[in-house]
Structure formats: C-alpha cells, structure tokens
Copies of this chain bind each other. A is one copy, B any other.
Amino acid sequence: MRVTLKDIADEAGVSIMTVSNVVNGNRARVSADTIERIQRIVADRGYVPSASARSLAAKSSRMIGLLVPAADEDSLMISPHNVAILGQIERQLRKSGYHLLLRGIAQPSEVGEALKSWSLDGAVLLNFFDEDIDRLTPGAVGNVSLLAVDSYSDNPLTTGVRSDDYTGALLAARHLLGLGHREIVFASPAITGVGVVHQRYKGFRAAFAEADLTWTERLVTIETATHTTGREVGRRIPTEHPDATAVFATADILAIGIMEGLADSGHAVPDQLSVVGFDNLDLSEYVTPKLTTVAQDIPQKAALAVERLLASIEKQEHPDSPITLDVQLIERSSTGPVRR
C-alpha cells in the first residue's frame, strides 16, 4: 500500500509530527541530525504526501481550478489564444507548488460545485460571459479567490486581468483611417454579453470621433468567432456592404476566415479590401497575406493572472481591482491604402 507518515516515523523511531515537520520544511522544530535521517528514509521509500489528507486536515488544498465554459455535449472550446494562457498558467502554478484542475462548465451554477468539490483555493475563469460572472453569488463562491481573464464584470467577488481592448481597437481603426479607409465593417460577436467586444467597439468608434469623422454603421454580427463563420461573413460582405473598403474583425481567427471568404468571392486583400484582426495569433503570420492585427502579451497576461490570484489566496481576501495590459498594433500585409 501507500507509504505514509507513520511508516516513515516508525522506521526512523520518531513521531509522525517530526516527520511532518521535516517534510514541510519546518526545519526550526527538528534537529539537523533527525532532519537528515528522515529525509533519507523519505527518499528511499519514495514517500509522497497525500494531498487529499493534507487538504482535509489543513485549510488549503493548494489546488486551483481553470474553469472554461463548455456546453454539455461539447468539448472544451479552447481557442489558440486560450491555449497559450492555459500553458502559462499551468507552469506558473507548478512553479509555485499548486496543482491545476481543468474543468468545463456547462452551466454557471456548476462553478460553485466545482469550487467546493475539491475545496479549491482559487480559480481562473477563462472565456466566460461577463453576464455569467456578474451572477456569481457569495454563497456559491465562498471565500475562494476568483480571477476572470478578459472580463469587464464588476462583480466584487472576482477580479480581472485583460488587455487594453479599447486602445487596441482604437489603434486598428486609426491605422485604417490613416490609409484612407472610411467605409469600414466592424465584424464581431454580439456587442452585449462579452465586455471585451464592447470595449473594442467603443475604441473603434473613438478613432472616428477623434478624427472628426462619422462612422457609417456597418456591423456584421456573428454567433461565435470561428474560421467557418468568418468565411461565410467574408463571402457576404461585398454584397451586403458594397461600399466597404476595409474590415475590422475582433479576432484573428475570424479575420482569417473573412480573408478566405473574400478570396472565395474573388476579392483581393488588401487591394480591394483591407482586413485587421485582433490577438496576434501565431497563425496570423502563417496565412497569406499576413494579417495586420493587435498584439497582446499573452504570457504576461497569464503570469499576472496567477500572480494576483496566488497573492489574494495568501492574503485570504478577495482580489484587488482589475488590471489592464498594453497592446500594440502589428502592421503586416493584409492592410493597404484605399483604392477606388
């Protein structure tokens, strides 16, 4: 069976508390001799503490959850953007001695269950609708630290780490305006629901405002930002918005689909229409033409998320005010001067 503290204690001829102290690095309470002897036995026998027992006896599980929305029958929809975040989060947690529970959430009510079941010390909410985050109640959350990535919810139970979506869209729109474009399509998921999209919409319009221009509203709303929907949109745009000379899409994967849809219907990018994305996925550099887009520092975002989450766990209080990271416009080949 499993090697336990007691096994080690018996073999060393000490009490289990002494072993526990050694294992937990409580060196102040044990003599150097004993420490060394016990460490040897621990290594020899391959002792690994039981996290369950520890979690039960102590207050902390040292496990945090990564919660991602997922309809019951669907698998986790992990976008390239979220993959990068996921990888970084795991690494940061591992380095800090925490474990990661990855869990799909079919209904907002499952959040509470996920937190309680394993007594999670905290959780990162990835890709949630702000509306769902708003609805999280103290009863469901308890004193668990919650950090929502890319959220603009002001639910005090959570804090956010996000990129400067407003400025990102502003930069993108400025870039297009600078190239002479005036008739620009704004392609995105519904502007309500996800605060990120709303911010980008505001930033986009602000660019027109600061140039004393009026934007002819050209909205194309999609269900979800995928390559497939993008492609459909790309096919429709030339007929739905024949005057448009540029498209701003709120996600690279969407923009790339749009470029393909445009190509399908015989429209050249950037000669006939310019396209700008958002995210700076690796992918955006692999496609032809290479996509002009807004870059976020994803590793930094993830690192900050974990850092703030762990800090709030250690302080035993709900997280601080949200934080916003800088963005940057990456000019590539999918945009060019307007031609009429």
Contacts and interface: CB of A to CB of B under 8 A. Distances in A.
Contact of A103 (B50, B75, B100, B260): B100
A227 B286 contact: yes
Interface stretch (A18-26, A116-124, A210-218): A116-124
B99 A75 contact: no
Nearest to A72: B95
A320 B3 CA distance: 28
Nearest to A62: B117
Interface in A79-132: 80, 83, 86-88, 90-91, 94-95, 99-104, 112-113, 116-119
Interface string A48-84: 1111110110000100001000101011111010010
A91 B117 contact: no
A76 B91 contact: yes
A46 B91 contact: no
Contacts of A56: 50, 52-53, 56
A282 interface: yes
A63 to B, nearest CB: 8
Contact of A299 (B2, B75, B282, B287): B75
A87 B76 contact: yes
A256 B286 CA distance: 8
Nearest to A228: B282
B74 A91 contact: yes
A234 to B, nearest CB: 12
Contact of A117 (B49, B95, B117, B288): B49
A191 interface: no
Contacts of A48: 112-113, 116-117
A139 interface: yes
B119 A52 contact: yes
Contact of A102 (B100, B139, B287): B100
Query: How many copies make up the complex?
Result: 2
Contacts of A179: none
B86 A99 contact: no
A140 interface: yes
Nearest to A68: B90
B90 A75 contact: yes
Nearest to A105: B94
B227 A282 contact: yes
A283 interface: yes
Nearest to A142: B2
A94 B103 contact: yes
A94 to B, nearest CB: 6
Interface in A1-40: 2
30 contacts: A46-B112, A46-B139, A46-B140, A48-B112, A50-B56, A50-B116, A51-B119, A52-B56, A70-B90, A70-B91, A72-B95, A74-B91, A75-B87, A76-B91, A78-B86, A86-B102, A90-B102, A94-B103, A99-B117, A100-B101, A100-B102, A101-B101, A227-B282, A227-B286, A256-B286, A260-B286, A286-B286, A286-B287, A287-B287, A288-B288
